[in-house]
Amino acid sequence: MNNTKPYAFDTVVDRRQTGSLKWEKFGDPAVLPMWVADMDFPIAPEIINELKQRLDHPVLGYTQPTNAVVASVVDYLADHHGWKIDPDWLAWVPGVLPAVAAFSNLLDPQDEILVFTPVYHPLLLIPEKSDRIRVDVPLQYTDNRWTIDFNAFEKAITKHSKLLLLSSPHNPVGSIFSRDELRRVTEICSDHNILVLSDEIHCDLILHKDKKHIPTGLAAAELGAQVITLMSPSKTFNLAGANCSFAVIPDASLRQQFVNHCIFTVPLVPTLSYTATQAAYTHGWPWHQKLIDYLRGNLELLKREVGDIPYLWMDDTEATYLAWINTRDLPVDNAYDFMLNAGIGLSPGTQFGDGDYQRLNFACSRAQLRIAIERIKKAVGSIT
């Protein structure tokens, strides 16, 4: 496959009438949906081809991971993240969130779950829904970057702290954590016997040119910390509706506990999802390289334009396609409603635990992004 192949990132795909969660949410065709984390780009043609080929076989029965799909993940981790894992460490699930929920449910009710805030809201809601105690540790903004406040983290730990939910790279603040930061987090957790659950679903969306994603499980390899790394092709290759994820769980007894818990409570990964996963990790990288170039172009445009809009500013997005836009100074009652009235459906920062911000998904055609920017400019310009 050659790298110069033009993939269709500029194509505007009409996703209405396809049951798209993103496009049906607002029920108003005038609103551009720029909220939930899926992309408006067509997936890699290489994945579509493999799915079509799989359908030449007429049975879609219960499916377990084949050696080939396992090998595609093992090779992906080695080639793209420098992490050599034992294939036995993998446990497959139809989503990252069911895995987070399963680990949360494995705890005792008085156990505490630590989470760095603001954060992707299900990581706030899952502990609540499983009646566990959630302890929020605010991230800090220093040197133009959101990072972990280690003092606050250590202070928040009690004898009941049992689990840390980490989003890495971080949704919504977009930080890529360094090896040192990850080692420090895992060392602290190891000292206090806290299991680290690292949600790395955005790990292949690295937009910062000089930074690299480091799997927490790799950063902690020699530290003796208990780390579970959760990954998926869903954000990387725009396969969110394909429902295939995997947990890397080196500890055999923890893995067995997790697998036992998932029987009957978490469905098996669908047959075609394994096909899409294997195709993505095996043949999807030329498409992915073009994706990253396109997203970097979108981010640059957005940053430049938002920088010129009064009252707004954008924090650095090192990774993900989610811009974290500060709307605190906007002289309106409710910035989310203001943007919605301007025809842009964002994710409200309150959802993630910080009402000063709104999250904007810029994984769309540049033409759509330009329309969104023009709408924001016009709406802000009309404030008197």
Ligand X SMILES: Cc1ncc(COP(=O)(O)O)c(C=O)c1O
Contacts with ligand X, residue ranges (CB under 6 A):
37, 95-97, 120, 167, 171, 199, 201, 232, 234, 240, 245
Shortest CB 120 distance to ligand X, Å:
4
| Residue 92 or 287 with smaller CB distance to ligand X | 92
| Residue 97 or 106 with smaller CB distance to ligand X | 97
> Looking at this protein, which amino acid is placed at residue 328?
R
- DSSP labels for 137-175? EE-EEETTEEE--HHHHHHH--TTEEEEEEESSPTTT-P
- Give dist(CA 72, CA 82) in Å, integer: 14
Distance of CA 99 to the CA centre of its chain: 14
Shortest CB 36 distance to ligand X, Å:
7
Shortest CB 303 distance to ligand X, Å:
21
Shortest CB 347 distance to ligand X, Å:
10
Shortest CB 109 distance to ligand X, Å:
24
| Residue 195 or 330 with smaller CB distance to ligand X | 195
- Give dist(CA 34, CA 27) in Å, integer: 14
| Residue 1 or 21 with smaller CB distance to ligand X | 21
Among 32, 20, 35, 14, CA closest to 341: 32
- Give dist(CA 176, CA 160) in Å, integer: 28
Residue with the shortest CB distance to ligand X: 95
Among 231, 225, 221, 228, CA closest to 179: 221
Shortest CB 26 distance to ligand X, Å:
18
What are the structure tokens assigned to 185, written together? 């987090």
| Residue 31 or 97 with smaller CB distance to ligand X | 97
- 3-class secondary-structure state, position 135: strand
| Residue 126 or 335 with smaller CB distance to ligand X | 126
